[in-house]
């Protein structure tokens, strides 16, 4: 089966880009993924996936295959008849359009502490990880929390990074460094002022054993509290919908 994949090309790798890569890597045997460049849709494919398509522009109407759209965030539109897949109940409720509910796929085993860690490893303090590209990520609220409670080590980048006397900017962390980083801390702080449809770093911190300091705007919270097992079967569930 040939699956057309429509997705933006970003200058940095954030949660949406990681999710797209992980869904593609989870494709079952017999699936060929065909990239559709901006402004074009490769014709005569069996089905199409639209993912993280926020600056792609309006994609043409298609009659040669069904379209499934994974809504990673709250931006971008979709065409009538698209099969919609939401990443959290909070996001799905915002649209009020029905559809499927599948979280991003994550390799949580990489974040879980090993059963036998060196005794010198000691958890302490609070951290935050994120791409603070807009005020909706809540960098200012992390700063306020730090002022009221304790210093926060911030690993990330972006123009809306937390700042202030109790914020320690640790720089940008690579994805493969995050398990070791998160396992050092007791608490993980993430306080978006608006709906965060998912928030993968929250799940990664939870898997690493951190106490979560988050608010009700974090969509990932529902999965942790209600269906944590779904976080590790998301790739399979996604392709069941695409290939149905």
3-state SS assignment for residue 94: helix
Domains identified in the chain and CATH numbers? 2-104+232-243 (3.40.50.2000), 108-229 (3.40.50.2000)
Tell me the pTM.
0.89
DSSP state letter for 97 = -
φ, ψ of residue 5 to 5 degrees: the values are: -120, 115
3-state SS assignment for residue 70: strand
What is the rounded distance in angstroms from the CA atom of residue 81 to the CA atom of residue 68?
9
Tens of pLDDT along the chain (244 residues)? 999 998 876 666 778 888 999 999 999 999 999 998 766 788 889 999 988 766 555 555 555 678 898 988 766 567 778 899 999 999 999 888 889 999 999 989 999 987 555 555 689 999 999 999 999 999 999 999 999 999 999 999 999 999 999 999 999 999 999 999 999 999 999 999 999 999 999 999 999 999 999 999 999 999 999 999 999 999 999 999 999 8
3-state SS assignment for residue 86: strand
Cα 144 to Cα 8, 135, 138, 150: the distances in Å are 34, 14, 10, 10
- Decide if 71 contacts 96 (C-beta within 8 A): no
């Amino acid at each position: 089966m040939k699956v057309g994949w429509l997705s933006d090309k970003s200058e940095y790798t954030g949660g949406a880009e990681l999710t797209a890569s992980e869904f593609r890597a989870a494709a079952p045997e017999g699936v060929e993924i065909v990239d559709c460049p901006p402004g074009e849709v490769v014709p005569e494919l069996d089905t199409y996936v639209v993912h993280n398509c926020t600056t792609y522009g309006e994609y043409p109407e298609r009659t040669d295959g069904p379209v499934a759209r994974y809504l990673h965030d709250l931006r971008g539109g979709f065409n009538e008849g698209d099969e919609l897949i939401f990443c959290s109940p909070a996001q799905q409720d915002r649209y009020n359009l029905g559809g499927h509910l599948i979280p991003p796929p994550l390799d949580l085993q990489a974040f879980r502490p090993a059963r036998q860690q060196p005794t010198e490893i000691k958890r302490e303090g609070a951290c935050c990880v994120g791409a603070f590209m807009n005020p909706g990520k809540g960098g200012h609220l992390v700063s306020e929390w730090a002022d009221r409670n304790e210093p926060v080590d911030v690993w990330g980048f972006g123009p809306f990074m937390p700042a202030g006397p109790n914020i320690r900017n640790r720089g940008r962390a690579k994805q493969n460094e995050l398990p070791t980083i998160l396992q050092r801390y007791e608490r993980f702080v993430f306080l978006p002022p608006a709906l965060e449809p998912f928030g993968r770093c929250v799940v990664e911190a939870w898997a690493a054993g951190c106490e979560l300091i988050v608010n009700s705007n974090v969509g990932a919270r529902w999965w942790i509290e209600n269906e944590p097992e779904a976080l590790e079967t998301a790739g399979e569930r996604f392709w069941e919908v695409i290939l149905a």
